[in-house]
Amino acid sequence: MDGHQVEGRLNRAMINLKLRSSQWIVDENNNIIIGKGRMEILENIEKTGSMNQVAKQMKMSYKAVWSKIKATEKNLNAKIVHADRKNGSRLSREGKELIKKYKLLLKECMSSDDKIFDSIFGKKDDCIPTVTSAAGCGVQPEDNLER
């Protein structure tokens, strides 16, 4: 069992466990710079060129979309979206860079999360007994699962 303690009753079944975590980039006052929601807003602005269209797609008010962008710009002290009534909206160089770096951060965090999870719970193919039945894990009723 890779030295990990398994508590509970015998007669267990195999289940697949996964770790899900979320990352936000915040400033020193915990004001959000970017998270998955703001990333989605920015990506959709880049695709559509319209904050109004993004608001409709994401089932948000235009004011909510605009407020999140303005809050990020204020907290980051950088312009991330250029918007005007005639030419629509587009991401600034800083906005594109923010998305690029945030996506890289998410990828690296996911990889680290998987490694940490595997070191504690075992690899994906390892058997994690649960409260139903351990036969698939090769655990016999007489096995002592606690260490």
Print pLDDT tens along the chain (147 aa): 444 444 443 333 457 777 888 999 999 999 999 999 999 999 999 999 999 999 999 999 999 999 999 999 999 999 999 998 888 999 999 999 999 999 999 999 998 988 888 888 777 655 555 544 444 444 444 544 443
Residues 6+ away with beta carbon under 8 Å from 126: 2
Residue type, 73: E
If we measure between CA atoms, which residue out of 64, 52, 36 comes closest to residue 89? 52
pLDDT at 9: 38
Residue 129 CA to residue 119 CA, distance in Å, equals: 16
pLDDT at 97: 98
Contact between 13 and 134 (Cβ < 8 Å): yes
pLDDT at 124: 62
pLDDT at 3: 45
Contact between 14 and 137 (Cβ < 8 Å): yes
Domains and CATH numbers, the chain: 1-16+124-147 (no CATH), 25-120 (1.10.10.10)
Confidence (pTM): 0.70
pLDDT at 127: 54
* Percent helix / strand / coil, the chain, rounded to 5: 45, 10, 45
